[in-house]
Chains A and B, each alone.
Chain A
Amino acid sequence: MKLNQLSVFLENKPGQLKKACDLLAKEQINIQTLSMADTRQFGILRLLMKEWERAKAVLEAEGFVVKATEVLALEVSDRPGGLADILGPIEAAGLNVEYMYAFAILRGVGADAKAALIFRFSDPDAALASLKAAGVNVLSGVDLFN
Chain B
Amino acid sequence: MPTEQWNDIGGKFHPASAPDYLPLEQLRQVQLQRLQAIVQRAYKYVPLTRSRMEQRDLTPAAIRSLEDITQLPFTVKADLRDTYPFGLFASPMQEIVRLHASSGTTGKPIVVAYTKEDIEVWTSVMVRSFAACGLHQGDIVQNSYGYGLFTGGLGAHYGAEALGATVIPMSGGNTDRQIMIMKDFGVTAICCTPSYFIHLIERAGELGVNLNQLPLRAGIFGAEPWSESMRQYIQENSNITAYDIYGLSEIVGPGVAIECSAHSGLHIFEDHFYPEIIDPQTGEVLPDGREGELVLTTLSKKAMPILRYRTRDITTLTRETCACGRTLCRFLRVGRRSDDMFIIRGINVFPSQIEHALLQVEGTLPHYLIVLTREKGLDQMEVQVEVTPEFFSDTVSVLESLHERITNAIEQVIGLRVNVRLVEPHTIQRSEGKAKRVVDQRKM
Contacts and interface: CB of A to CB of B under 8 A. Distances in A.
Interface string B388-430: 1100111110011001000000000000000001111111000
Interface of A: 5, 7, 9-11, 16, 37, 39, 41-42, 44, 46, 63-67, 69, 98-99, 120
B422 A11 contact: yes
Interface of B: 387-389, 392-396, 399-400, 403, 421-427
A42 B399 contact: yes
A120 to B, nearest CB: 7
Contacts of A9: 387, 392, 399, 422, 424
A19 to B, nearest CB: 10
A39 B423 contact: no
B424 A63 contact: yes
Given A67-B393, A69-B394, A10 B399 contact: no
B427 A67 contact: no
Nearest to B390: A65
Contact of A11 (B388, B395, B424): B424
Given A11-B423, A11-B424, A39 B396 contact: yes
Contacts of A11: 421-424, 427
B395 A98 contact: yes
Nearest to B399: A42
A44 B396 CA distance: 7
A39 B393 contact: no
Nearest to A10: B424
Contacts of A41: 400, 403, 421-422
Contact of B395 (A64, A65, A66, A99): A99
Given A10-B424, A65-B424, 14 more contacts: A5-B394, A7-B393, A11-B421, A37-B396, A41-B400, A41-B403, A42-B399, A63-B425, A64-B424, A64-B425, A65-B392, A65-B425, A67-B394, A120-B394
A120 B389 CA distance: 20
A68 B189 CA distance: 38
Contacts of A10: 424
Contact of A39 (B389, B392, B400): B400
Nearest to B391: A65
Contacts of A37: 396
Nearest to A12: B421
Contacts of B393: 7, 67
Nearest to A63: B426
B421 to A, nearest CB: 6
30 contacts: A7-B394, A9-B387, A9-B392, A9-B422, A10-B424, A11-B421, A11-B422, A11-B423, A11-B424, A11-B427, A37-B396, A39-B396, A39-B400, A41-B400, A41-B422, A42-B399, A42-B422, A44-B394, A63-B427, A64-B425, A65-B387, A65-B389, A65-B392, A65-B425, A66-B389, A67-B389, A67-B393, A67-B394, A98-B395, A120-B394
A132 to B, nearest CB: 24
B386 to A, nearest CB: 9
Contacts of B395: 44, 98-99, 120
B392 A67 contact: yes
Contacts of B423: 11
B394 A65 contact: no
B295 to A, nearest CB: 44
Contacts of A44: 394-396, 399
A15 to B, nearest CB: 12
A11 B425 CA distance: 10
Contacts of B394: 5, 7, 44, 46, 67, 69, 120
A117 to B, nearest CB: 17
Contacts of A16: 424
A28 B141 CA distance: 46
Nearest to A98: B395
B390 to A, nearest CB: 10
A5 B424 CA distance: 20
Most central of B394, B395, B403, B424 by chain A CB within 10 Å: B394
A3 to B, nearest CB: 13
A64 B389 CA distance: 9
A38 to B, nearest CB: 8
Nearest to B389: A65
Contacts of A67: 389, 392-394
A64 B423 CA distance: 10
A47 to B, nearest CB: 11
